Structure 1
Amino acid sequence: MRPVIRQVVPKLHAPEASILGDARRAEPRGEDAHRAFLSRIPAFRAIEQGPPTRPLPWPGSLRIAAFNTERLKDRPAVRHLMSRAGADIALLSEVDLGMARSGNTHNIRDLIAGTGEGYLYGVEFVELDLGDREEIRAHAGEHNACSLHGNAIVSALGLEAPHLIPLEENGLWFSGFKGTQRRIGGRIALAARVSGAPAPLWIVSTHLESKSDSADRRAQIQALLRALDTIAPHEPCVIGGDFNTKALPRGEDDRDLLLSAPERDEPLFADLRDAGFEWQHANLALPTQTPGPTNKHEPPFGKLDWLVVRGLAAANPQVVPARDGEGRAVSDHEMITVDVSFW
């Protein structure tokens, strides 16, 4: 697996068309074949950073939001959600860059345009086609400008010492699912330290795998925690994102278990606890999955999205309905927020 990545660039470039063509024609199975293509794409070895226009001073406490943006197709609606939540820092997953399905734009730059905010962006996957079956049908005949998909952190505060932490790169998506959505890459975490904080404070945006099981998700969290042991040993930290904790109970009668004993069904929480993280004061025992814009999911819905904290006081957790100003669904996940401060 790649080592932790520290290289920062002002712009990530699209993979060479010849590499993507070779990958599409390659046998779509085998970790060695996948790893060879991953090593040929420079975008997997750097973090794109756009600093804020005038970084804000330390505000005394932070409101952190985590949100699976569903490709970040609807930038105005996500901007509306971030403003409504009052987020000082937004941890975003499923962020496209140069994908036909979301307008072939630099979505994260569009999102922050005119706000003075800055961002970090790390590539999770290079997409080899237009997306899932519905996206392929809707965008037939179109082409991706960059084919990048990943995680981001957005804030008007300064962010320093960016790190991209690979969590796995076993090529699970290289063959695609149901004949579509072939990808190069693997799940990642994007970490940075907040400039101007009275003590080191790390912010981590991550997205765990959706097509595997609780053991695989645990292995990904363990990879993240090993990296944090080196980057930020025992230092205050917030990790947030779509953990895809699909093994957790979904019935209303079991909701108390979501916060009191999630490790019973998702062992990754035992590892987080051992590393000093807590979630009881940073989350509500409510589902965060939704039907989404296309009625993709049906009830009962799960709690898939989490914020976990270490070395900080957490208060006022909220679930922010992921709807635009007209009440239309923006994503198949709700946004979650929490207020954090030093003790």
Structure 2
Amino acid sequence: MATRRRLVLAGSAVLVLAAVGGLALWAPWGASSASPESPAAPVGRTVQVTTGTVAKTTTEKGTLRYPAVKSPTSRATGTLTAVPAVGTSLGRGDTVYEVDTVPTVLLLGTVPVWRDLSVGAKGADVLQLEQNLSELGYFPRVPDEEFLEPTAEAVRKWQKALKIPQTGEVPQSAIVVAPDVVRVGATPVAVETPVGAGTTVITLTAHAPSVQVMLPLADQGLASVGAAVSVTMPDGTLAPASVTSVGRAQVSGGQNSGSQSQSQDDPSTSRVVPVEIALTDPAVADGLQEASVQAAFIGERHDDVLTVPVDALLARAGGGYELEVIGGDASKQRIPVTVGLVADGVAEVSGDGLHDALTVGAASA
């Protein structure tokens, strides 16, 4: 459930509760009979009108983790002879694992590995191979979709660097494809364990951690791609972040809304929207594999407005609000104000005579 920030005002007998707007407002003793210019009422403390931002936020629980990218299965039969440590970053050309000391290497791209590649092959997977060989410095030509002799020559140079037989061909077992740099998330099979085709030998995750929040459906308008979010880390650090994706609504617990029409009609069923959030600086999560965090989504926001603490607002007898302006000679004058957005104990105000740095009265702290 959302934890919405609500104003809690501490004070003494100088506080009264206004029925308008749900605000706790202060009033001096005898304020109900005092005139707007009455100098007799004591002031708890003085504050200044300031120019700033008022923003409403909704805070949700989230999970910081490294999302799984893929879990490659071995296409070779033999003994697992090498696998990188959990947490290792793997990029283009890095070895993902070895079977019988023969490496399976990471290439970057999105075309799946579905066949062996050799001279005569044509297609998007050939283009992907050549692009990777070019980036690794083995293919000097412009990549295309044809596996010709220059491609085979580049493959042989690559194989020589890997210290494996220089065949000029690329079997399916030689490569794993991922869209970007990845991280080793788990190694379910120990080195020296026999493996066969189809054995899951490693789990690869995204290189950078992200936060997943299951946002209540009623609050889905807060999450749009690119929207700013503030994440509170386990140690209390506030980390700036932004929304990277918003999923389809689903029943709380993981069922997609598209397959549970009956649940959608049940008012007792909680429905949520999965939201992925990227940290601006992933380094703030160093040392964390998974952790519970808090994500604050910004709702309505007003910038460059005049603001006062909520406890500076006075309820007017006929409705509305006013401020008690304190002059340099300690004189007092009440002026009516219009209250705008209120959040986190701060109120947006406007009205004649208001300006930045104006001194006004407020309830005792």
* Structure with greater strand share of residues: 2
Instruction: Answer 1 or 2: which has greater helix percent.
Output: 1
**Which of these two proteins has the greater Rg computed from alpha carbons?**
2
TM-score bracket relative to the smaller structure = under 0.3
Relative contact order, higher structure (CA 8 A, sep 6+): 2
Tell me the TM-score normalized by structure 1. Answer: 0.21
